[in-house]
Chains A and B, each alone.
Chain A
Amino acid sequence: MTRHTSTINYRAVLHVTGWMLMLECAMLLAPAAVGMLYGEADSHIFLLAALCCLVPGLVAILPSRGCRIMVTRRESCLLTALCWILFSAFGMLPLIWSPTCALSVTDAFFETMSGFTTTGATMISDVDRCSHGILFWRSEIQCLGGLGIILFTLALLPSLNRSDGIWMFNTETSGITHDKIYPRIGQTARVLWMIYIGLTLCCALLLWAGPVSLFDSVCLAMSTLSTGGFTPRSAGLLYWDSAYVNSVLTVFMFAGGVNFILLYWMLRGHWRRLWGNDVFRTYCMLLLGSYAVVLVCQFAAGSHGGLKEMLIDPMCQLVSASTSTGVTSMPYSQMRSAVTGVIMLLMAIGACAGSTTGGLKVDRFLAIFRNMKGETLRALYPNRMQCVRVNGAMLSDQQMGKILAFATWYLMLLLGVSLITAIYGGMPLLDSVFGVLSCISNNGLGYGVCSGDFSAFPTLSKWLMSLLMMAGRLELFTILVLFLPSFWRR
Chain B
Amino acid sequence: MRIFISGDGESGTYMAKLLSDENQDVIIMGNDEARLENLDARYNMIVAEGNPLSVSDLKKAGADKADLFVAVNHRMPVNLTACQLARMAGARCTVARVDSGELLEEPSRSFLAGTGVDTMLFPELLAAAEVKMALKVNWAKSWFELHQGLLTVTAVRLRETSPLCGLQLKELASTRRTFHVAAIKRGRDILIPRGSDTLEANDTVYLVTTPEGLPELPGLCGRKPVRIRRVTIAGAGKISRVTARELAKEYDVTVIEPDRELCRRMAETVPAVKIVNADYRNLDVLREEHADSSDAFIAFSGSTESNIVSSMVAREFGVPMVIAEIEDTQYIAEAESLNIDKVINKKLITSSHVLRIILGRDINTPQVMSLESACVAEIVVGDRAKVTQRPVRELRLPRSMTIAGLIRDGHGILVDGDTRIRQGDHVVVVCLNGHLHAIEPLFG
Partner of A383, one of B266, B271, B276: B276
The residue on A at minimum CB distance from B256 is A383
The residue on A at minimum CB distance from B289 is A381
For residue B266, which residues in chain A have a CB less than 8 angstroms away from its CB? Answer: 385
Q: Please, could you name 28 A-B residue pairs with CB atoms under 8 Å apart, sorted by A?
A: A381-B276, A381-B288, A381-B289, A382-B288, A383-B276, A383-B277, A383-B278, A383-B285, A383-B288, A383-B289, A384-B274, A384-B275, A384-B276, A384-B277, A385-B263, A385-B264, A385-B266, A385-B267, A385-B275, A385-B276, A385-B277, A387-B267, A387-B271, A387-B275, A392-B271, A394-B264, A394-B267, A394-B268
A408 and B289 alpha carbons, distance in the complex (Å): 33
Query: Closest Cβ of chain B: how far from A143's Cβ, in Å?
Result: 40
A383 and B277 alpha carbons, distance in the complex (Å): 5
8 A Cβ contacts from A382-420 to B: 382-385, 387, 389, 392, 394
How does the 8 Å CB contact mask read for B327-367 relative to A, with 1 for contact and 0 for none?
Answer: 00000000000000000000000000000000000000000
- A: residues with CB less than 8 A from B are 381-385, 387, 389, 392, 394
A394 and B263 alpha carbons, distance in the complex (Å): 12
A382 and B288 alpha carbons, distance in the complex (Å): 9
For residue B268, which residues in chain A have a CB less than 8 angstroms away from its CB? Answer: 394
Asked whether B271 lies within 8 Å of A389 as measured between CB atoms, the reply is yes
The residue on A at minimum CB distance from B290 is A381
Interface contacts beyond A389-B271, A394-B268: sample of 16 additional A-B pairs, CB < 8 Å, sorted by A: A381-B276, A381-B288, A381-B289, A383-B278, A383-B288, A384-B275, A384-B276, A384-B277, A385-B264, A385-B266, A385-B267, A385-B275, A385-B276, A385-B277, A387-B267, A387-B275
For residue A385, which residues in chain B have a CB less than 8 angstroms away from its CB? Answer: 263-264, 266-267, 275-277
A389 and B267 alpha carbons, distance in the complex (Å): 10
For residue B277, which residues in chain A have a CB less than 8 angstroms away from its CB? Answer: 383-385
For residue B267, which residues in chain A have a CB less than 8 angstroms away from its CB? Answer: 385, 387, 394
8 A Cβ contacts from B257-282 to A: 263-264, 266-268, 271, 274-278
A154 and B266 alpha carbons, distance in the complex (Å): 39
A387 and B268 alpha carbons, distance in the complex (Å): 8
A394 and B267 alpha carbons, distance in the complex (Å): 8
A125 and B285 alpha carbons, distance in the complex (Å): 66
The residue on A at minimum CB distance from B263 is A385
For residue B274, which residues in chain A have a CB less than 8 angstroms away from its CB? Answer: 384
Residues of B in contact (CB 8 Å), total 14
The residue on B at minimum CB distance from A394 is B268
For residue A383, which residues in chain B have a CB less than 8 angstroms away from its CB? Answer: 276-278, 285, 288-289
A394 and B268 alpha carbons, distance in the complex (Å): 6
For residue B276, which residues in chain A have a CB less than 8 angstroms away from its CB? Answer: 381, 383-385
The residue on A at minimum CB distance from B284 is A383
The residue on A at minimum CB distance from B285 is A383
Interface-centre pick from A382, A383, A392 (highest chain B CB count, 10 A): A383
A384 and B278 alpha carbons, distance in the complex (Å): 8
Pairs of residues from A and B, 8 with the lowest C-beta to C-beta distance, nearest first? A385-B275, A383-B278, A387-B267, A385-B263, A383-B276, A385-B277, A394-B268, A383-B277
For residue B285, which residues in chain A have a CB less than 8 angstroms away from its CB? Answer: 383
How does the 8 Å CB contact mask read for B189-218 relative to A, with 1 for contact and 0 for none?
Answer: 000000000000000000000000000000
For residue A381, which residues in chain B have a CB less than 8 angstroms away from its CB? Answer: 276, 288-289
A92 and B106 alpha carbons, distance in the complex (Å): 62
A389 and B274 alpha carbons, distance in the complex (Å): 14
A383 and B287 alpha carbons, distance in the complex (Å): 12
The residue on B at minimum CB distance from A387 is B267
A66 and B376 alpha carbons, distance in the complex (Å): 80
For residue A392, which residues in chain B have a CB less than 8 angstroms away from its CB? Answer: 271
For residue A384, which residues in chain B have a CB less than 8 angstroms away from its CB? Answer: 274-277
8 A Cβ contacts from B149-187 to A: none
For residue B264, which residues in chain A have a CB less than 8 angstroms away from its CB? Answer: 385, 394
The residue on A at minimum CB distance from B276 is A383
A244 and B276 alpha carbons, distance in the complex (Å): 55
A384 and B256 alpha carbons, distance in the complex (Å): 9
The residue on A at minimum CB distance from B268 is A394
For residue A382, which residues in chain B have a CB less than 8 angstroms away from its CB? Answer: 288
Query: Closest Cβ of chain A: how far from B248's Cβ, in Å?
Result: 13
A346 and B405 alpha carbons, distance in the complex (Å): 71
A392 and B271 alpha carbons, distance in the complex (Å): 9
The residue on B at minimum CB distance from A380 is B288
The residue on A at minimum CB distance from B257 is A385
A382 and B276 alpha carbons, distance in the complex (Å): 9
A331 and B285 alpha carbons, distance in the complex (Å): 57
A384 and B277 alpha carbons, distance in the complex (Å): 6
The residue on A at minimum CB distance from B265 is A394
The residue on A at minimum CB distance from B269 is A394
A148 and B264 alpha carbons, distance in the complex (Å): 35
For residue B275, which residues in chain A have a CB less than 8 angstroms away from its CB? Answer: 384-385, 387
Query: Closest Cβ of chain B: how far from A395's Cβ, in Å?
Result: 11
A420 and B271 alpha carbons, distance in the complex (Å): 46
A266 and B431 alpha carbons, distance in the complex (Å): 62
A383 and B268 alpha carbons, distance in the complex (Å): 18
Query: Closest Cβ of chain A: how far from B281's Cβ, in Å?
Result: 13
A305 and B21 alpha carbons, distance in the complex (Å): 90
8 A Cβ contacts from B85-110 to A: none
